[in-house]
Chains A and B, each alone.
Chain A
């Protein structure tokens, strides 16, 4: 194939040399492109292949071994043992349930609040930029800092969360030990996830809403459609694509929750608030079981990617209908 291509190109560029007023570029263009293209791509791509592609393949291979960390020690192949162990391990299964609960709690609320703020900001509004910057602040603040901040807010004694629940809203007569049990702990971690993610969802929705032609909305308004109807029949269909992208990315992010759990509860008490990545991290770097850690990583990635591929396929099908 490459031979036929070169022979096809050479006569044409030779012909071009005769006909075109500026032959230099026409003659050397295609050949120089290839050379230059590789010079542009290779430095970055070599690093990318070393740091991303090679480890991705290695995760897969590691997961079939009983990996021995000490150099020189043989690491026997154990087939599917690590995977069998994982799917019989109650802590791993619980960690999947925890991350699923986190996802179910955080994704819809981030979308609803993010979309709500985007709709509010989608107008000629003095101070619009200021609001946008404020709402986006949690997104650009480091996970470490906000995790510590929410640990403080949800601390057992007299944190703000307890003050609100006990004194302001009277939902409970005594202080709650938020981070000391499974579901209150996951709730606190989820509140952080929602708060930190709203701004990101808002920005994507705002970009999509801004792209909706104003004439469409005006035409609908002239036809007597109220704001709710204009949103339902003009804006919403136009941002469907953004909606499904945000949903899928938040879904993937939800199952990959890590730093907030590690810093707020450490997966504890016991293993009650463990999520797959904190458990993987513990297995790999506290217990040095690299094979098992890799099997957990790989299982999580495959499960999440399969689920998102399914969602993608499903939304595409629905959009075509």
Chain B
């Protein structure tokens, strides 16, 4: 009886603390959402009121009414989807060779991948810019893809290799005895058994490319080539007092991320947990 009471009490304390934390963490988002429904004059009114007195869809209409916004959205979507597919495929193939196959030179190649994990991408922006110039990939939307894929490979390969290693070798051997080559074992065994890890990679790869800012800012010039993060940042520069407009655009940009995150988030935690245990 007594312990039941104290258990109930700790549970209550837990919930109160969690609720306070949740409020603090979510408040900025609520604020952003509410501002996006306020007209320009009201967005400068009482800063803490989360419920606009006269909610309006005006900002969303204006954002979606700009022809370019749809274009930027599609630009981002195309680059992010193509990059994500390539990142997951190429990383999984490398990870499979590192984790499941026996070949000379494995250690050297793997060490070179690990080195990539320690290099901050921003450090490479100057020589990458020169490389893009030499390959005529400046100011081109498809030109973003090799750079997005190349910079994401080390991390995702590392993550997937840890996962592939845990697949029981007996399964591999059983398939090999039935005459399945490495390529078939990769597609029919390793990939289906690693869904949580693949889901984690999809989240990381999609978020990374959808939100990428610094590289796109550096190499894209044409208005038509802009991706969403560039468009939103520049949007703010042009309409510095129309925060409602800026946040309406931002929220539309956040939607695909939320969809990908919520769809894959169960996998995500499972993937990270196993990864963390491994390391």
Contacts and interface: CB of A to CB of B under 8 A. Distances in A.
Interface of A: 2, 5, 22, 24-25, 29-30, 32-34, 36-38, 40-41, 43-45, 47-56, 58-59, 62, 113, 117, 120-121, 123, 125, 131-138, 140-146, 148-153, 157-160, 162-163, 195, 198-199, 203-204, 207-208, 210-211, 227, 241-242, 245, 252, 256, 258-259, 263, 277, 280-281, 284-285, 290, 293-294, 297-298, 300-301, 304-305
Contacts of B69: none
B213 A143 contact: yes
- Could you say which of B14, B210, B213 has the most chain A C-beta atoms within 10 Å of its C-beta? B213
Contact of A123 (B14, B127, B213): B14
B106 interface: yes
5 contacts: A43-B93, A44-B90, A138-B28, A210-B273, A297-B126
Interface residues of B, number: 90
A148 B90 CA distance: 34
A259 B186 CA distance: 39
B93 to A, nearest CB: 4
Contacts of B183: 36
Interface stretch (B57-65, B109-117, B191-199): B109-117
B165 interface: no
Contact of A52 (B11, B119, B253, B262): B119
B127 A294 contact: yes
* 3 closest residue pairs by CB, A with B: A51-B150, A44-B90, A142-B211
Interface of B: 10-11, 14, 17-18, 21-22, 25-26, 28-29, 31-32, 35, 44, 47-48, 90-91, 93-94, 96-98, 101-104, 106, 109, 112-113, 115-116, 118-120, 122-131, 146-147, 149-151, 153-154, 157, 176-177, 179, 181-183, 186, 203, 207, 210-211, 213-214, 218, 229, 232-233, 236, 243, 246-247, 250, 253-254, 257-258, 261-262, 265, 269, 272-273, 276-277, 279
A207 B101 contact: no
B250 A149 contact: yes
Contacts of A43: 90, 93
A288 B232 CA distance: 25
B97 to A, nearest CB: 4
- Could you say which of B35, B126, B261 has the most chain A C-beta atoms within 10 Å of its C-beta? B126
A41 B22 contact: no
A62 B126 contact: yes
Secondary structure dominating the interface of B: helix
Contacts of B91: 44
B153 A55 contact: no
A159 to B, nearest CB: 6
Contact of B179 (A24, A51, A136): A24
Contacts of B10: 227
A289 to B, nearest CB: 10
A152 to B, nearest CB: 5
B21 to A, nearest CB: 6
Given A52-B150, A137-B29, A148-B232, A131 B22 contact: yes
Given A138-B28, A145-B253, 12 more contacts: A41-B98, A47-B150, A48-B116, A56-B119, A56-B127, A140-B203, A142-B257, A144-B213, A148-B246, A277-B122, A284-B125, A301-B123
Contact of A40 (B93, B113, B213, B258): B93
Nearest to A140: B261
B277 A36 contact: no
Given A40-B96, A44-B90, A131-B18, A25 B116 contact: no
A37 B257 CA distance: 34
Contacts of B182: 32-33, 36-37, 40
Contacts of A245: 279
Nearest to B233: A144
Contacts of A54: 127, 131
Nearest to B118: A305
Contacts of B96: 40
A56 B147 CA distance: 14
